[in-house]
A and B are shown apart, each in its own frame.
Chain A
C-alpha cells in the first residue's frame, strides 16, 4: 500500500466519523441526512466520470491514439458504476423519506435516461470489432451523450417540480447548508475525487491490456 492510499483511507475514516458523530441531523431529513454526505459525492463522481470520458474522446478523435479511447471507456465505466450506486442509495433514501423506492421524480427519471444513454455507449463498443471504427463511433457517441448530462443532472430537476431535497446551489443561488455540513461534504467530495483518479488509472490500464490482448 502506498502512502497516499493509506492517507485516503484515513481521510475517509475522518469523514465517516464526522458524518456520524460531529454533524447533527439536518432539519426535516432527520438521521437520513447522513446518507447525503456520501450520496452527493458519488453523484459528483458520475458527472466527473462522464466529463473525463468526453474529454478523452475528443483527444482520441483529434490524435487517433488508442490510449485515449481506452481512457474514455474507463472513465465512462466508472461514471456508470457510480451512477448505479447513486441511484441505489437515492432510491433507498426515498423509500424511507417518501415511502416508495421509486416514484418517477424528475431526478430519478433523469438518472435512468442517463444510464440508458451510457448503456448504449457500451453496447455500441461491444458491437464493433474494428478498433479504429469503434473508437471513432464511440467517441462521437460519448461527446453527444455528455451534452445531455448538464441538462439531465442540473436543469431538469430544477425546472420541474421535484420532491428531491434542494441541491447545495438552489434556484435562489444560495447555499442551503450549515458551514460544518459543507466542510464534511467538501471533504467527502475531495476524497471521492482522489479515489476516482486512482480507479481511473487502474481501469485505463486494464482497458489497454484487454485491447492489446484482443486486437493485438
Chain B
C-alpha cells in the first residue's frame, strides 16, 4: 500500500470517528426528546384520563365542609 492510500485511510478513520460520535449523540438526543415529549403528554392527560371526560372529573373534597356544617 502506498503512502497516499495509507494517509487517506487514516483521514477516513478520523472522519469516521467524528461522524460516528455525532450520530450517536444525535440518536441519544432524539430518543430522550421523544421520551420527554411522551412524558409531558402523559402528564398533561392525567386529569382527563381520571374520568371519561374533563367535565366528569370531580373536584377534590373541600376540607372546610365539615366545619361549615357544624357551624350551620
Contact = CB atoms under 8 A, between A and B. Distances in A.
- A and B: real partners? yes
B50 to A, nearest CB: 23
Nearest to A39: B14
Contacts of B18: 85, 195
B25 A203 contact: yes
A55 B11 CA distance: 31
Interface residues of A, number: 29
Contact of A210 (B4, B15, B22, B32): B32
Q: Main secondary structure on chain B at its contact with chain A? A: helix
Nearest to B2: A31
Q: Main secondary structure on chain A at its contact with chain B? A: helix
A209 B14 contact: no
A89 interface: yes
Nearest to A88: B13
Given A38-B14, A88-B17, A92-B10, A30 B3 contact: yes
Contact of B32 (A33, A34, A203, A206): A206
Contacts of A205: 29
B28 interface: yes
Nearest to B29: A206
A177 interface: no
Nearest to A78: B21
Given A96-B6, A213-B35, A38 B21 contact: no
B7 interface: yes
A93 interface: yes
Q: What are the nearest 10 A-B pairs in CB distance?
A: A31-B3, A209-B32, A31-B4, A34-B7, A85-B17, A92-B10, A202-B25, A206-B29, A35-B10, A30-B3
Interface of B: 2-4, 6-11, 13-15, 17-18, 21-22, 25-26, 28-29, 32-33, 35-36
